[in-house]
Amino acid sequence: MPYPGELSALVTAVLWSFTSICFAEASIRAGTLQVNITRLLLAVLFLFITIAIMKSPLLLSSSQIVNLSLSGIIGLVFGDTYLFRAYQNIGARLSHLIMALSPAMTVILAFIFLGEKFSLLGTIGIFVTLSGIAFVAFEKNEHPDSKYKINKKNGIIYGLLGALGQAGGLIFAKKAFQEGDINAFVATFIRILASIIIILPAGLIMKRYKNPLKIFTREKKAFVYTVAGSFMGPFLGITFSLIAVQYTKVGIAATIMSTSPILMLPIIRIMYKEKLSFGSIIGAFIAVAGVAILFGN
């Protein structure tokens, strides 16, 4: 199949578009940490069943396990925790627009730690894609009747920290794949398991993670959104993101995956009845053009 990395990154962006909506809706009903930990536990269950059915090879070196574990802790514990806090402050769409800075951070980190360099065409593709996303970010204002409390200071800080965590997580994942082939589901399982080992005890010690049966019995919609988001995000989304990192440069993968805010526009139009401005549509076309350039790179 041509462009396996780029296509996997695009699939990831589509999955994360739906996932963002699901987790944003679940977080405002059940709380950030509650949803974050529960979705990881559900994803581990999905992955365990998948690996068992597929009889996926489990042969990894110790350094691959370490790099994947660090990738999970940095990306899923640090990065996603702050992303979820951004969700609560400014909603899914605006949070992801701020997270669009993650590819730029990834490119810089990949150059420093992995020695990745880009052709002129690849650099132009990244710039055009991020320009389209930025165009939408500056054009679209949060609806005045939004249920999210707009807190620019917190939202920006949380979004930036989330972007940095996501970039760092991809770098360590790439290091693991550079050492040798790894089954994507197995790699995702290790990343998520490592993050659970850190975040679950912390949540219990701080008494911020409560009995999920009680929480989700009371908030049934939150449970439905969490299950759906867990399947599309940590289970499928992260797996496809690792396939993307395995088969293309991490900076290109991160850039294509960052188009999820663009892909979210029609979803938000349908779910929240928000009108799409002319500028948002133009920005979407610019971002798509940038992705096309990356595919041709």
Token readout for 172 is: 């360590």
- pLDDT of 148 over the 80 cut: no
Distance CA 105, CA 164 (A): 7
Question: What's the pLDDT score for residue 168?
Answer: 96
Average pLDDT over residues 17-32: 88
- pLDDT of 149 over the 70 cut: no
Distance CA 232, CA 255 (A): 19
42-59 tens-digit pLDDT: 999 999 999 999 999 988
81-114 tens-digit pLDDT: 888 788 778 776 677 677 778 888 898 899 999 9
* Residue 143 binned pLDDT confidence (cut-offs 50, 70, 90): very low
Find out whether 143 and 274 touch, Cβ atoms under 8 Å: yes
Question: What's the pLDDT score for residue 258?
Answer: 86
Average pLDDT over residues 165-171: 95
Question: What's the pLDDT score for residue 144?
Answer: 39
Structural domain boundaries in the chain:
4-119+144-259
Distances (CA, A) of 252 to 131, 243, 280: 15, 13, 23
pTM for this one? 0.87
Question: What's the pLDDT score for residue 269?
Answer: 82
- pLDDT of 283 over the 50 cut: yes
